[in-house]
Structure 1
Amino acid sequence: MLWVALHLPALSLESWRAGAPADARPAVLIADHRVQHADAAALARGVQVGMQRATALALAPDLQLGQADARRDARALRAVADVALGFSPSVAWLPAANDDTPAALVGVRLEVQSCLRYWGGLPRLLETLRAALAPLGHQLRIACAPTALGAALLAGWRSGLEQGTHVQGREALQHLLDRLPLHLLVADAGQLQALAGMGLHRLADLRRLPRDGLARRFGAGLLARIDQARGHLPEAHAWLTLPPRFASRLELMHRADTSAQVLAGAQVLLARLVAWVQASQGCVAHFRLVMHHEPRHRSDSTSPTHTPLEIAPALPSADAAHLHSLLAERLGRLPLPAPALELSLHCDARVDAAPPNAELFGAQFASPDSQRDGLARLVERLQARLGTAQVQCLSPVADYRPERGTCWQPADPARLGAALPGGVDVQAGVHTLGTQPLWLLPQPQVLCERDSLPLLDGRPLQLLAGPERLECGWWDGDLVLRDYFIAQAADGALVWIYRSRLPVAAGEPGWFLQGLFA
């Protein structure tokens, strides 16, 4: 077996700062008036984990203080697990404090031996895994080992192994574990202090002692963890599964007064949503963003406590950039009744879909399906920005008369995939003349004539094809009797003209220009 461990050493601080702009000031998280997590800037000022809040502020007066929240961390860690489930069905949490192991190991572990061939080998899998986790914005420490606990311990090792340690042989793993500091393996502070008092600092030091004596003094659990990490004892795992519905909440570090600030926080939730839907090999058909407002800024009791925003792509999508662009356009047109303090994202409309088919020769040789998808996304984005009624397209009408054969209607991006290459979706029972051009004039233009031949800009037109007779409109009182011709102008352009077959009085026009060929 081969295990990959993903350790997130700064998850709590990153989940607290999610969606907030970059800030160089030191930051810590407080729990029970003590520092529970501190970033590198705070540690450089002398702030230590476990220090009193007042002492930390004395060392760094500009310190940013946040409240530690286990539920907030769990929501951020759930997104990491969703990404891992897209690479392997065997995913479990890293050992936690309730497993009698150090609480510093935060992340997930996944078994990848069975799917290495699918991903093209371990280096390619790790490269793809890092790229999939990048949108979540977490600092990662990755390690690979033949045992799950061994990979987790190597990922949590802070002795210059931030770039990752990948061990595939059991002997090499055991040799490397002998150098492991004991504080990664021993969770109890009293036991760790007793071991340090005995001059034991690394796992190799501990293994030199008699096992019976270690079991009597420190318990059999310590020896069991050593054996599991080295591969001498089997490990039990509680496998993770994808939830059937997506729901995530984000507490904003600063209140959001504008749609741009809301969008910055919503981008974090969108990354989590895409991780969930991609792991299930599906697409998002609909999701809802809810902005929870600050109560004290409500002008009266009728002001809403929250503002929902429904987003339904015309075509189900798992593309983060596309969903982000739709959300950005909708937020830009939505007034906020009050500042937002929290955001929540919900999705229970996941649909199965085939994975996207990458183009072999690039965008300039894109397939018709890709071109139609691109057109649908363009129309959808324009409607999100301008409104549905402002983006229209030609729809066919069951009428042979060219000026009545189409009408303008709001575009439906979901139907653009069924459009013909010419751009007109011709329904059953709707017909057009075979030689009709796409470019028609709003009203037929009267043409002068000389010797019964039509003139355009004072020059005679050369008739190339025709006549094509049209007789219709008797049912609504607008009878049309025409003979259509294709003619060539003096500059070589092709035009579409017709001659009225009704009796024409002297001086009345008989020739008309109806359209132009491209």
Structure 2
Amino acid sequence: MLWVALSLPCAPDGTRPSSDALHGLATWALQFTPRVAIADEAVVLEIEASTRLFGGRRALHERIVGEADDLGIAAIGWAPNSLAALACTRAGVRNGLRRPLPELLDALPMEVLSAVAPHRLTLAQLGCRTLGDMRHLPRGGISRRFGKDLLRAMDQAYGLRPETHGWVELPETFRARLELMSRVETAPALLFGARRLLVQLCGWLAARRAGTTAFTLRWAHDAMRSREAGEGGELTIRTAQPMRQIEHLCRLLAEHLARVKLQAPVGDLALEAIDVVPLEEHSASLLPDPKNESESLALVLERIAARLSPERVRRPVLCEDDRLEWAQHWQWALQPMPRQRVAPSDVPQPTFVLAEPQLLAVRDHRPMYQGPLMLLSGPHRVEGGWWHRSEGDGGGDASTHHLERDYWVALSQHAGVLWIYQERLAGDATAWYLHGSFA
């Protein structure tokens, strides 16, 4: 399992982040995985099943870290479970996957577990400074003296007991609020706080696979305002097409804020999505999009070869050869395709072919594969390969390519329809081989 903990900064007096801030962060995180939960001052998310979707652990890590500054995240921690990830964020350890979990946690201060807080003074008097010190205490004594909650939290952090979470559900509508750290007196300066709300909006839109064509930014004036200033103001932004690109939305909002004049200092911001419509996803694959009929395969291969280098892109080419091993070969994708017409073969062609033919057991002159085989059709004679003596083997022996086989379509009671053959040039013509199977 792979868990990530995203911790928001606490107030100087130790007050935890507001519920609005935590739920806003959780809403943004739902674009990566539906398994998101709030734990104390942090949001934890299980992303093991999502790493492949986002291009692997490194790519997902870079994306989360890249947006962390805009969201005001104070610390990020990775670990095999949520409590360990939360402990890493509190201890300043970003990557908790480099060492075995017991070795990692034993070195952390005991305060990284929330369950320790009620018993911190008593544990310190017992000489405990780290989680490793606590783990070496008698389990029975911990349970009797400190209750089962502490022992349960330690077992869950060390992966000895499963965790339970209350998952955050994706809201049907988007409304987010942000209390500014200081009073803002000019409208363009509101963009700094509004960007954080827009990042949350884009995360919510990504989780819903949608885009917005209109959103409203509202601001509330400071309580010490004049009566003429009113309680606040608002600004509605509309886009020409559904959008969830953060940079585009920020530039658009900045253009509108430049023409706004605030009547009083602003202390709070609120963002609401007005119009939300499904957004048609564009394929991120290197392969051609079936909906884009104007893009030919040749152009796609050129683009892939430019990214990966021409030597790494090959295409199959059919050959005029009845031997299945030689019926096709691979050439560089940018090489011209040979102009030849391959006539259809009269020999049945299997769906799946073994890399190496498998020698079959024989009983009473009948081939065996998970029981006796019933021959349905055949023989289908396949012969060829003698021309390789002069084509590409430097005049050497062509016996490794020349073959003469009699193929049969056989039925197995358990394995289905198979493709088997006898090697007529072999010393023992009674030997049977399995070469493939039919779907």
Scaled by the length of structure 2, what TM-score is found?
0.59
CA–CA distance in structure 1, aligned partners of residues 232 and 118 of structure 2: 49
Of 28, 50, 61, the match for 1:115: 50
| Contact 1:144 1:167 (C-alpha < 8 Å) held by counterparts | no
The 5-angstrom pairing of residues 363-382 of structure 1 reads none
Match of 1:90 in 2: 35
Match of 1:347 in 2: 273
| Contact 1:3 1:112 (C-alpha < 8 Å) held by counterparts | yes
1:186 CA displacement: 5.5
Match of 2:379 in 1: none
2:18 is matched by which residue type in structure 1?
D
CA–CA distance in structure 2, aligned partners of residues 185 and 287 of structure 1: 40
1:137 is matched by which residue type in structure 2?
G
2:47 is matched by which residue type in structure 1?
V
CA–CA distance in structure 1, aligned partners of residues 182 and 127 of structure 2: 48
Per the alignment, do residues 167 and 110 of structure 1 end up closer, same or farther by CA in structure 2, a change over 3 Å counting?
Answer: farther
1:257 CA displacement: 3.0
Q: How many residues align?
A: 289
Tell which deviates more after alignment, 212-221 or 175-184. Answer: 175-184
Match of 1:305 in 2: 231
1:107 CA displacement: 1.4
Match of 1:131 in 2: 66
CA–CA distance in structure 1, aligned partners of residues 82 and 117 of structure 2: 24
1:84 is matched by which residue type in structure 2?
A
2:273 is matched by which residue type in structure 1?
C
CA–CA distance in structure 1, aligned partners of residues 249 and 75 of structure 2: 26
Per the alignment, do residues 250 and 211 of structure 1 end up closer, same or farther by CA in structure 2, a change over 3 Å counting?
Answer: closer
1:309 CA displacement: 1.4
| Contact 1:6 1:143 (C-alpha < 8 Å) held by counterparts | no
Of 233, 248, 252, the match for 1:326: 252
1:294 CA displacement: 4.0
CA–CA distance in structure 2, aligned partners of residues 299 and 5 of structure 1: 44
CA–CA distance in structure 1, aligned partners of residues 227 and 7 of structure 2: 46
C-alpha RMSD of the superposition: 2.9
1:5 CA displacement: 2.3
| Contact 2:51 2:57 (C-alpha < 8 Å) held by counterparts | yes
Deviations 1:32-73 (A, max 9, x none): xxxx14xxxxxxxxxxxxxxxxxxxxxxxxxxxxxx6x6x63
The 5-angstrom pairing of residues 232-381 of structure 1 reads 232-294=160-222, 297-298=225-226, 300=228, 304-356=230-282
Match of 1:2 in 2: 2
CA–CA distance in structure 2, aligned partners of residues 368 and 293 of structure 1: 54
1:116 is matched by which residue type in structure 2?
T
Match of 1:79 in 2: 24
1:150 is matched by which residue type in structure 2?
A
| Contact 1:157 1:184 (C-alpha < 8 Å) held by counterparts | yes
Deviations 1:318-370 (A, max 9, x none): 0122212222222222343444332221114221102356798xxxxxx999x
CA–CA distance in structure 2, aligned partners of residues 359 and 134 of structure 1: 29
1:202 is matched by which residue type in structure 2?
T
CA–CA distance in structure 1, aligned partners of residues 91 and 59 of structure 2: 24
Per the alignment, do residues 208 and 342 of structure 1 end up closer, same or farther by CA in structure 2, a change over 3 Å counting?
Answer: closer
Deviations 1:462-516 (A, max 9, x none): xxxxxxxxxxxxxxxxxxxxxxxxxxxxxxxxxxxxxxxxxxxxxxxxxxxxxxx
Of 141, 149, 153, the match for 2:76: 141
1:254 CA displacement: 3.6
Structure 1: give runs of 5+ residues left out of the alignment: 14-28, 30-35, 38-67, 97-105, 361-366, 370-518
CA–CA distance in structure 2, aligned partners of residues 359 and 149 of structure 1: 36
| Contact 1:83 1:132 (C-alpha < 8 Å) held by counterparts | no
| Contact 1:141 1:156 (C-alpha < 8 Å) held by counterparts | no
Match of 2:383 in 1: none
CA–CA distance in structure 2, aligned partners of residues 346 and 263 of structure 1: 15
Match of 2:315 in 1: none
| Contact 2:4 2:76 (C-alpha < 8 Å) held by counterparts | no
**What secondary structure, in the 3-state scheme, does the structure 2 residue paired with 1:289 have?**
strand
Per the alignment, do residues 368 and 322 of structure 1 end up closer, same or farther by CA in structure 2, a change over 3 Å counting?
Answer: farther
| Contact 1:287 1:311 (C-alpha < 8 Å) held by counterparts | yes
CA–CA distance in structure 2, aligned partners of residues 186 and 310 of structure 1: 42
CA–CA distance in structure 1, aligned partners of residues 85 and 261 of structure 2: 49
Of 58, 73, 87, the match for 1:153: 87
Of 154, 165, 170, the match for 2:96: 165
**What secondary structure, in the 3-state scheme, does the structure 1 residue paired with 2:239 have?**
coil
Per the alignment, do residues 295 and 239 of structure 1 end up closer, same or farther by CA in structure 2, a change over 3 Å counting?
Answer: closer
Deviations 1:385-408 (A, max 9, x none): xxxxxxxxxxxxxxxxxxxxxxxx
| Contact 1:252 1:343 (C-alpha < 8 Å) held by counterparts | yes
**What secondary structure, in the 3-state scheme, does the structure 1 residue paired with 2:137 have?**
coil
Match of 2:109 in 1: 181
CA–CA distance in structure 2, aligned partners of residues 209 and 340 of structure 1: 53
1:274 CA displacement: 2.0
**What secondary structure, in the 3-state scheme, does the structure 2 residue paired with 1:109 have?**
strand
1:237 is matched by which residue type in structure 2?
H
Deviations 1:128-187 (A, max 9, x none): 221233322322222221x222222233224xx2x432258xxx1123222232222354
| Contact 2:177 2:269 (C-alpha < 8 Å) held by counterparts | yes
Scaled by the length of structure 1, what TM-score is found?
0.51
Q: Percent identity between the aligned chains?
A: 35
2:79 is matched by which residue type in structure 1?
C
| Contact 2:176 2:271 (C-alpha < 8 Å) held by counterparts | yes
1:313 CA displacement: 0.9
Match of 1:403 in 2: none
1:144 is matched by which residue type in structure 2?
A
| Contact 1:271 1:320 (C-alpha < 8 Å) held by counterparts | yes
CA–CA distance in structure 2, aligned partners of residues 338 and 183 of structure 1: 44
**What secondary structure, in the 3-state scheme, does the structure 1 residue paired with 2:88 have?**
helix
**What secondary structure, in the 3-state scheme, does the structure 2 residue paired with 1:312 have?**
strand
Per the alignment, do residues 220 and 359 of structure 1 end up closer, same or farther by CA in structure 2, a change over 3 Å counting?
Answer: closer
1:245 is matched by which residue type in structure 2?
T
Match of 1:228 in 2: 156
**What secondary structure, in the 3-state scheme, does the structure 2 residue paired with 1:327 have?**
helix
| Contact 2:6 2:73 (C-alpha < 8 Å) held by counterparts | no
1:123 is matched by which residue type in structure 2?
R
1:216 has 2:137 as partner = no
